[in-house]
Each structure stands twice: as C-alpha cells, then as structure tokens.
Amino acid sequence: MFSFILFVLLFTGQQDQIKIKDAWIRPGAQDMNTAMYFTIKNNGSVTDTLYAVKSKLAQKTEVHETYSKDGMMGMRKAELVVIKPKSSFEFKPGGHHIMLIKLNKDLKSGNEGEITLFFKKTGEVKVKAKVKKPDIKKGS
Amino acid sequence: MIITKNKVRIFAMAAILTLSLYSCKPKLPVEMDLSREEFVLINQDSVEVTIPEILKNKISLAGYIFTHCPDICPMTTHNMYRVQKKLTSEEDILFVVISFDPDRDTPSVLKKYAELRDYDLNSWQLLTGKKEEINKLLDNVGVTAIAADSSFTESGELNYYFLHTDRISLVDKEAKVRKNYKGSTADINEIINDIKSLE
Ligand SMILES: [Cu+2]
C-alpha cells in the first residue's frame, strides 16, 4: 500500500513538474507566420528540456529565438530549451517564441489554438491559447 | 545701487532656471530629408503613391517591416498602433508601413496584415513596390535588410527571414525625418511627446 501511494505521489509529481502559464498567440493570416508565447514553470526537482513542438495550426512549428546582430534584428531556430528545477522560462516578444510557419488558416483575435510541447522528462504537454493582440501594459 | 552677494545669487539662480527650462523643450534636428527625391511605391489597395507626396502636410510615423516576421515586425507596427490609440483624435497623424520584402509583400498581403490587426486604413498606408524603388528608399534612410535564416516547410517551400534594422521614424510635415526609434521596443510616450513638439 505504501509503495502504491509513493508511486502515485511520484507519478503525479512528474505530471505536475512542468506548468505552462499565460499562453497567447499573436494574430496571423493564412499562409503567413505568427508566434505563440507563454511561460514554462518547472516545479519539479530535476531539470527538464523542451526538445520538440508540434501543432496542426501551421505547416511547420518550431522553437525560435530573436537575436540581434550588428544593430539589426533577426530570428533563428532554437534547438533545446533547458528549464532548471524551481525556475521558469519565458517565451516572450523579442525573445524565444513558438514559430508557426505557414498558418493553415487565419488566426484572428478571439480564436483559439493548441500546440503540443515535448519535454525529455515530462513528456507531452498540450498548450491551449487564445489569439489576441499583445497586452498594452507589457509593452509588446 | 549696491549689488549684494545675495542679489547675485538670486540672479544666477534665475538665469540657470531660465536656461534649463529652455533646454527642456525638445528640439529635434533634421536627421534625413525625404523631400529631395521621389520614390514611387504601391499601397495596400494597389494604388500608386509617391514619397515625399504622401508625407507632406502631415506628421507621419514610418515603420520598416516584412510581414512574414512573426515577432519583431508585428511589435513595431503594434507600437505604432499603440501611439495612435493613445493620441487624442484632434491629431491627424499618418502611419506608414514600408515593406523591405516586396517579393512576398504584395498589396493584398499587406492589406490582410492590417485588417487582421485592426489598423484603420484611413490613416495607415502599407507600402510595397518595385525592388529597385524600395532599395533606393532603404538606402536613403539607412535601413538594411539581409535575407538570413531560412527553413523549408514539409511541402518544400522556402521560408526566409531577414536580419533587419528595427526602426520607426518620425517624419515632419515637410517630409523630413526628425527622429529614429528602435521600432519593436520604442517608448510610446517618448514618440507622443516628440509628435507634440512638432505640432
Ligand atoms: Cu520565428
């Protein structure tokens, strides 16, 4: 019985290790690209790594990062995102974003979209988000 | 009349105060003059427009973007939109978006970009055009856009992204650029104050 409880605790602990907060998607037109943002919280005691992402919203979904070079701005694919225990990682405008390449349909304010994140430890995590204009307050 | 030390002190303080008040008033030098050469472009409704013609008699904010950009460029145009939302209705400002990706940014693509974001096309002009003409304009204002990172979709289509200058410019009623801001992270209040200082 004890080991069963322990198993349940460990199992649910594992499930709760990664939490996704404040997800939103920038509006985008069909065949164009747009970005999704959120905060990944690692409540667990071990490091976890985001290594892949999938969605039916676009022809291709990738993890990207915005960078600056010679005073200009660009963006590129980012391979792995490591989230240390008891810390969070923010996907935000001007930084990391989920890049939705060639949207299958218009994503307008008020629409909803879902993507799946793949973590090495936690496994699959589905993320639902509303399409909306960026928050005025956040300066994005 | 005896000039006491105190009087000198008061006079000096008054002088400093006057000077500092005067220098607080922002004075924006001319950064570039867009009135000297003509650039023939096409707007979101496929109507031919020329710079400097559309910039005359109105204060404008101009942003440089490509619409396939999912992060930086929409932040830039969103900042322009935020300026518009924050301004009072008496201010008649023109919002100009210039694409440095004319191959993909056709008038209809630009129009859809604006509509999806609720940009009021009565006060917004999204411009594309012939590559030579766009490049001539970019050279003039010192905006650089280099095709950099790219990827292929499953259907084999190439998707490329630019490494580009991130800019919003404030243009006065004589088509002269008076200030440049970093487009995606621009301070809205600074832009609004600068607009007011030109009126
Ligand atoms: Cu991207």
The pLDDT of residue B22 is above 90: no
Closest by CA to B33, choosing from B49, B50, B52, B61, is B52
pLDDT at B156: 82
The per-residue pLDDT for B170 is: 98
Q: pLDDT value at position B153?
A: 78
How many angstroms is it from B35 CA to the middle of ligand 1? 36
pLDDT in tens for each of the 140 residues of chain A?
555 555 544 554 455 799 999 999 999 999 999 999 999 999 999 999 999 999 999 999 999 999 999 999 999 999 899 999 999 999 999 999 999 999 999 999 999 999 999 999 999 999 999 999 987 654 44
Average confidence (pLDDT) over B113-134? 96
Mean pLDDT of B133-158: 90
Around Cβ B169, how many Cβ atoms within 10 Å? 22
Whether B110 is covered by a domain: the verdict is yes
Which amino acid, residue B6?
N
pLDDT score for A140? 41
Separation in Å, CA of B125 to nearest CA in chain A: 18
Q: Do A29 and B116 touch (CB under 8 A)?
A: yes
Beta-strand pair B158-165/B145-152? antiparallel
Nearest to B116 among A27, A60, A134 (CB): A27
- d(C-alpha B174, C-alpha B191), whole Å: 18
Question: Please, which residues have CB within 8 angstroms of residue B77's CB and are 6 or more apart in sequence?
Answer: B63, B65, B97, B113, B117, B119
Confidence at residue B16, expressed as pLDDT on a 0 to 100 scale:
60
Range of the domain at B154: 28-198
Residue B18 in 3-state DSSP?
helix
Cβ-Cβ contacts under 8 Å for B101 (sequence gap 6 or more)? B66, B67, B68, B145, B162
What separation in Å is there between the alpha carbon of B153 and the centre of ligand 1?
14
Q: Is residue B122 assigned to a domain?
A: yes
Total domains present in chain B: 1
Tokens representing residue A126 in the block: 């589905």
Neighbouring C-beta atoms of residue B2, cutoff 10 Å: 4
Measured from the Cβ of residue B108, the count of other Cβ atoms closer than 10 Å reads 12
Buried b (16+ CB within 10 A) or exposed e, A79-102: eebebeeeeebebbbbbbbbbbbb
Chain B hits for A59, CB-CB cut-off 8 Å, are 153-155, 157
The chain B residue lying nearest A59, using CA atoms, is B153
Give the Å distance between the CA of A20 and the centre of ligand 1: 20
Whether residue B97 is contained in a domain is answered as yes
ipTM of the shown complex: 0.84
Return the structure tokens found at B167.
């800019």
The verdict on B71 touching A (C-beta cutoff 8 Å) is yes
CATH code, domain with B127: 3.40.30.10
Task: Say if the Cβ atoms of A32 and B146 lie within 8 Å.
Answer: no
For residue A101, which residues of chain B lie inside 8 Å, CB to CB?
151, 153, 159
Q: How do residues B83-116 score in pLDDT, each as one tens digit?
A: 999 997 677 899 999 999 999 999 999 999 999 9
Average predicted confidence (pLDDT) for chain B: 90
Q: Does residue B5 fall inside a structural domain? A: no
Q: Is the pLDDT of residue B57 over 90?
A: yes
**A2-131 carries CATH number 2.60.40.1890:** yes
Residues 6 or more apart in contact with residue A68 via CB below 8 angstroms: A74
Of B70, B148, B154, the CB nearest to A34: B70
Which residues does chain B have within 8 Å of residue A92's beta carbon, measured at their own beta carbons?
none
Please tell me the distance in Å from B196's CA to the nearest CA on chain A: 21
Residue A139 is predicted with a pLDDT of 42
Cβ-based contacts of B166 with chain A (< 8 Å):
72-73
pTM: 0.85
Instruction: Give the integer Cα–Cα distance in Å for B160 and B44.
Output: 22
Name the residue ranges covered by the structural domains of chain A.
Answer: 2-131
In this predicted structure, the answer to whether residue B1 has a pLDDT above a threshold of 60 is no
| Cα dihedral sign, B197-B165-A139-A105 | positive
